[in-house]
Amino acid sequence: MLIKNVNLAELCSFGWVIDWSVLLTGYTAVMSRPPEMNKAEQWLSQEDERCRTGRLERLQWLATELPTGEYLTFPGGLMAKFLFEETRYCFAYGQYLAVIVLGVAFIERTLAAEFYASGRNDLERSSISELLREARSVGWLTAAEYDAFDRARKVRNPVTHFRHPGHRENIESRMLEENDYPYTVIEQDARLIAAAVMHMVGRHAV
């Protein structure tokens, strides 16, 4: 690894091994990997091995939910595409809370973009609940689609908005009600939202 115009204090603080003979004769430092990095690599290898089966199962499930169109379009632009890709990636790697937040952000951005493209500038800053109601009223969504997307919104809300202790939407209350582990409940929520995201993408597949 070669670094130009290095800050020696920063290099030393991060534990890099510096070849001083090279450093003193020019503007570059040749650095070898510190021993601590071997532990990081070992941890990463173990993590990959332990999580491989789960990742494979989730990837196979995602494949069953993918739209069948030859091309996918994103009315919400490049940011919508990034949200879609990161939702998929996070689901594969079991980052379920990220799936919930990113997935609903994708749905909201896509609906807002569709309305804006149709001339409805009044909905540019609307909440997802307003967008869903309007999309249903103009016939863009079926009753089943509205229910699925609204369910995704309701799943997202207690993740991003505070609920007082004992609130029925808190994960502590839900794990007791559903008699399951908390992260199993969250995984089920993530699957619901990932499926909703795939359905939204499918509406624009060609």
Q: Is 120 exposed, middle or buried (0-12, 13-18, 19+ CB in 10 A)?
A: middle
- Confidence (pLDDT) at 33: 54
Whole-number Å distance between alpha carbons of 15 and 104: 41
Residue 38 lies in a domain: no
What pLDDT, in 10s, does the model give residues 174-204?
999 999 999 999 999 999 999 999 999 999 9
- Confidence (pLDDT) at 27: 45
Expressed as residue numbers, the domain containing 25 is 2-32
Question: Do residues 62 and 146 share a domain?
Answer: yes
Residue 41 lies in a domain: no
pTM for this model (two decimals): 0.79
Low-confidence ranges of the chain (pLDDT < 50): 1-30
For every residue of 39-63, DSSP letters joined together read: HHHHHHHHHHHHHHHHHHHHHHHHH
Question: Do residues 137 and 62 share a domain?
Answer: yes
Residue 124 lies in a domain: yes
- Confidence (pLDDT) at 77: 96
- CATH number of the domain within which 186 lies: 1.20.120
Question: Do residues 113 and 26 share a domain?
Answer: no
Q: How many residues does the chain have?
A: 206
Whole-number Å distance between alpha carbons of 194 and 99: 7
- Confidence (pLDDT) at 34: 54
- Confidence (pLDDT) at 7: 36
Q: Where are the alpha helices (DSSP H) in the chain?
A: 8-13, 20-23, 36-65, 77-92, 96-117, 128-137, 143-160, 171-178, 182-202
- Confidence (pLDDT) at 36: 62
Residue 119 lies in a domain: yes
Q: Is 110 exposed, middle or buried (0-12, 13-18, 19+ CB in 10 A)?
A: buried
Domain count, the chain: 2
Whole-number Å distance between alpha carbons of 40 and 129: 44
